[in-house]
Structures are given as C-alpha cells and as structure tokens.
Chains A and B, each alone.
Chain A
Amino acid sequence: MTHASAVYASPEVPGFGIDPWWLVVAKAVIIFAFLVVMTLFSIWWERRVVARMQHRIGPNRVGPQGLLQSLADGIKLALKEDIIPKAADKLVFVLAPIISVTPAFLAFAVMPFGPEVTIFGHETHLQLTDLPVAVLYILAVASVGIYGIVLAGWSSGSTYPLLGGLRSSAQMISYEVAMGLSFVGVFLYAGSMSTSQIVEAQTQYWYAILLFPSFVIYVISMVGETNRAPFDLPEAEGELVGGFHTEYSSLKFALFFLAEYVNMVTVSALATTLFLGGWHAPFGLTSIWAGANEGWWPVLWFVIKVLLFIFFFIWLRGTLPRLRYDQFMRLGWKVLIPAAIAWLVMVATVRALNTEYQFDSRQVLLYGGVVLVVLLALTFVWDLVAARRQPAEAPEVEVEFDPMAGGHPVPPMPGQQLPALTAVGAGETSATPEGKDDR
C-alpha cells in the first residue's frame, strides 16, 4: 500500500482538519442530536420488537405508535427525586454518570457517515474529524467509559452496585482483548487505522466477507462489551438487582441508560465501518444505480446498517437466556482470544506470502476462515454434548420416596414414584427400603 508511508509523514489524514469553525460546531451538534435521537428510537424499538417476540403489544400510547414513549420516560425521570445515599462517596457518585456518558458520545467523532459533499460551497467529509489512529482513539475513549461504571459501583457504598461494577469492568476488559485482536486483520488489509481510509479500502470487498472470522469475533465481543443480553450479567436482576446503577435515580440513572444505548450505537457503527463497508451502498446496488455512492445517499446506507445491528442486539435479547459467569469468562478467554490470535497469524502469513510470492490469497483466506468458523462452532457443539452427557453420568434415581418427609407432604422428584395413597402416616416410609443408597 502506498498511502501507509504517507500516514507516518503527517499527523493528519489528508482532507481533514480544514473545516471552518461553524461547520465543525454544526457537525458536532448534528452528531450529538443523532445519537440522542437514536437512543430514544432504539429504546422504543427494542420495547416494541421484544413485545412482538413475546406476543405482547408494547408501548403504543404516547405519540404515533408510541414513538414518544422514551421521551416521556425521560421527562418522568427528571421529575423524580435525586437520591444520594448516606453511605455514598458524594463527589464520585455525582461524577460517575458524567464520566460514563461523555466518552460514549466522543467515540462518534471519527465515525464516517458518508463521502465528501458540498455544504454551502464548502467541500467537506461527512465526518466530524479523522485521525491516523482513529480506531485506537475509539478504543481508548471506550475504555474511559469503564471508569464511569466501576466508580459508580464503588462510590454507591452498597453491596450490589459494588459487585455489579466489578462484574461489568471484568467483563468489558475481558472482551476488549478479543475485540482489539479482531481489528488487527482489518488494519493489515487497509494499511491504516483511519476510519475514512478503512471505508475507502472496502470499495470492492467488505471485510466481513474477506475477514469473516474477525467479523464473528467482533460481533460476539461487541455484545459482551456493551453488557447486553445474553451477556448482561452485571445487571442480572435475580442476583444483583440493577448492578452498578442500583443506587442511582432521577436523571443520573437516565444518563447511564443514555450511555448504554449510545455505546450500542457506537459499536454498531464501528462494526459497519470496519466490516460492512461503512457508508458504501449494499452489494449489487451500484451496478443498477451508479449514483448510489454519491452525494447524501451514503448516509442512508450507513444508518440502515447501524439499525440492522441494533435490531440484531434486540433479537439476541429476545431469544437467548443469560449465560452463567464462568461460562461467559470461559468463552472470552479460552475460545475467542485463541481463535482471534490463530486467525491473525493465518491472515498475516497469507498476506506476507502473497506480497512476496504473488499467489491467490483470497481463496486460501476464504477456506481458512470457513475452517476457523467451523472450529468455533464445534466448541459450542462440544459444550452442548458435554452438558448433555453430564446428567447421564450421575442419574439421581432414588427409589425410596417418603411423601410425608419431615411431617409435611412433599412432591416426588424426577424418577421417583408416588406411592398409592393407602395408609401414609407422618414420617412413614411407604416404598420398600431396598433401594437405599450405598454411598
């Protein structure tokens, strides 16, 4: 790649950092508004879709189709009392939602919405700014958001938030490793970390196809990274009440909610940018309609792709039960990380051999990718088989059944027979005692 050396030469990506101040402010305000509207829309959409999946109707009263429901909820939250618990560390308690929500917005500064357009006679990219290290910047900013969560949990001075905050941070850092490793293949192919150049490099092939295992690993880890179902262990209601935000109320709680949904939009947008061709029109559309990648249309493709990812998040939540914590950590550390490293070494080898000796790398990568995905799937199948074998090894067949154990009636366990209701007295054993366990 020729532009790789150009990136080192200058600390700026060509074509960026030349906007007049009013355009910068306008873009910032539009990105901010876009994220807030996406949040309000996603909450409503999630509730409607999950309701449909569960044969309910969902919110449909406030506004057309209930579209204003999340806005109404926000206003309701603003009118609730802002409680700071007695045991809380007051300063950190107030700072935590700010630390959580600010970086969530910041990651979008380098997200490309579209190509160059003309706004009031100014040639400009539909992107607030771009850096030679844009994706690294996104990772860095996203990591700051974890501080908000762990500080919220710690400063509440309460048991559930502390454990929820710890779980959140452990989960996020575990999946960040797999996430970071899945990016390396993209940088290798694009020869750049700048988001606009990565999108540019995907004009012909989307990296979701070329680097399919990277894409799969990224999609799994982005769900873990955002603490969403089925990886929503930090907010497991049955164990931890609300997790790190148990003690938060009023608009502080709303800010955490906002941060969560903005993060969801951010990881979806990042997946779109790095793997699904960013703002490029869907496959085949350009052959029918040549102007699909010009002007303002790319914004539409970008938003559609992001919304598809958000639908995927909702779908997961409506479908899968929550994982256990040990299963979750095992998936992250023992499956995703080795798979990501193996794939990375393979991509690098094929790429190096290709540049040195020139042979068709695409087929090798494609076959290798298929093999890796099959291996990944096999680990899941193996887990399932192992789980199914477990109960067969230790069948709890206790022939003896005392229907009045301890003086009150008890139901039979699986494998036990309810005796005929003849003379059953308190504490009396009606079954034959030959099946006594010999342990």
Chain B
Amino acid sequence: MHSYAPILVLAALSFGFAVFSIGAGALTGPKRFNRAKLDAYECGIEPTPQPVGGGRFPVKYYLTAMLFIVFDIEIVFLYPWAVAFDSLGIFGLVEMVLFILTLLAAYAYVWRRGGLEWD
C-alpha cells in the first residue's frame, strides 16, 4: 500500500494548515464583546427564533438526495464496467444496456410524477 502513503502526508499538511489557521485566527484578532454581534445575522432586524436543530426546510431536498444516491450507485457500477469493457465485449454491452434501461424506467417514472420539477 505504498502508493497510498503520500496521500496521508498531504492530508497531514493541509489538515495542519487548517487547524493552525483557525488557532491563529483566534489569537491575532481582537476580542470585543457585543451582544448584538453574537446574534444570528438577519439584515439588522431581530433574528427569527430558531427551533433546536435548525428548523424545517423543503422536502424537495430529501428527494434530490435520494435520487442522487440512485444515480450515484449506477455510476459506481459503470466505472469498473468501463475499465474492463474491452475484455467483456458484446456481452458486457448488452448487460449494461439492460441495467441502464431498468434505471431509465425509474427515471421516467420520477419525471412523470413531477419528482424533477422544482417550484
């Protein structure tokens, strides 16, 4: 696993840099207490009270996340297939077209039901 070790070196370097910057930012900047400054920013008006956990947001975001998982897993299957394509030949092509068609049925369903509309 020698080829993975250099990644750790770069990770240590960038992580160290980020931690150092945040530590330095706390030391180099001034500290002047002001109650209004610590409030949530809302263009100068009194901030809207927020429920614990950040409040509610449109359910469309959940739908997008789920669709993403479906298609991302499709892509994960496509990658090794693409790399090995030349040794699989026509058989591999037919198999993958069947797989893509199955997913396209789901895609067409989502489209028809308005899952891809955003309003």
List residues of chain A with CB under 8 Å of any chain B CB. Answer: 1, 4-5, 7, 11-13, 16-19, 24-25, 27-29, 31-32, 78-87, 94, 97-98, 101-102, 104-106, 108-109, 128-131, 136, 154, 156-160, 162-163, 166, 169-170, 173-174, 176-177, 180-181, 183-185, 187-188, 191-193, 241, 246-247, 250-252, 254-255, 325-326, 329-330, 333-334, 337-338, 341, 344-345, 348-349, 351-352, 355-356
Contacts and interface: CB of A to CB of B under 8 A. Distances in A.
B40 A4 contact: no
Contacts of B78: 181, 184, 344
Given A12-B2, A13-B3, A345-B100, A82 B54 contact: no
Interface string B17-42: 11101101110111110000111111
Contact of A174 (B57, B68, B89): B68
Chain B contact patch, size range: 35 or more
16 contacts: A4-B84, A4-B86, A12-B3, A17-B4, A32-B17, A98-B15, A102-B11, A130-B3, A159-B42, A173-B72, A251-B22, A251-B24, A252-B22, A329-B116, A352-B92, A355-B89
Given A102-B18, A162-B54, A325-B118, A17 B2 contact: yes
B101 to A, nearest CB: 9
A333 B116 contact: yes
Contacts of A86: 38-40
Nearest to A341: B100
Interface string B78-119: 110011111101101100110010001001000100001111
A82 B116 contact: no
A344 to B, nearest CB: 7
Given A28-B9, A78-B28, A85 B39 contact: yes
Main secondary structure of the interface of B (DSSP, over half): helix
A250 B24 CA distance: 10
Given A12-B3, A24-B6, A85-B39, A334 B111 contact: yes
A166 B57 contact: yes
A5 to B, nearest CB: 7
Closest 4 CB pairs of A and B: A251-B25, A17-B2, A17-B3, A158-B40
B87 A5 contact: yes
B102 to A, nearest CB: 12
Nearest to A10: B3
B83 A192 contact: yes
A99 B113 CA distance: 37
Main secondary structure of the interface of A (DSSP, over half): helix
Given A255-B18, A345-B97, A345-B100, A81 B3 contact: no
Given A4-B86, A255-B18, 8 more contacts: A28-B9, A79-B30, A129-B5, A176-B72, A184-B79, A185-B82, A250-B25, A351-B86
Contact of B40 (A85, A188, A251): A85
B12 to A, nearest CB: 8
A79 B2 CA distance: 41
A28 B10 contact: yes
Interface string B53-68: 0110100110011011
Contacts of A345: 97, 100
Contacts of A184: 75, 78-79, 82
Contact of A193 (B1, B83, B117): B83
Contact of B15 (A24, A78, A102, A341): A102
Contacts of B117: 326
Contacts of B9: 24-25, 28
Contacts of A187: 79, 82-83
A136 B79 contact: yes
B29 to A, nearest CB: 5
Contacts of A5: 87
Given A17-B2, A105-B14, A106-B14, A337 B71 contact: yes
A177 B50 CA distance: 33
A348 B96 contact: yes
B79 A193 contact: yes
B3 A129 contact: yes
Given A4-B83, A187-B82, A348-B93, A241 B29 contact: no
Contacts of B17: 32, 101
Contacts of B79: 136, 183-184, 187, 193
Given A32-B14, A78-B29, A162-B57, A329 B19 contact: no
Residue of B14, B61, B117, B118 contacting most chain A CB atoms (<10 Å): B14
B6 A128 contact: yes
Contact of A355 (B13, B15, B37, B86): B86
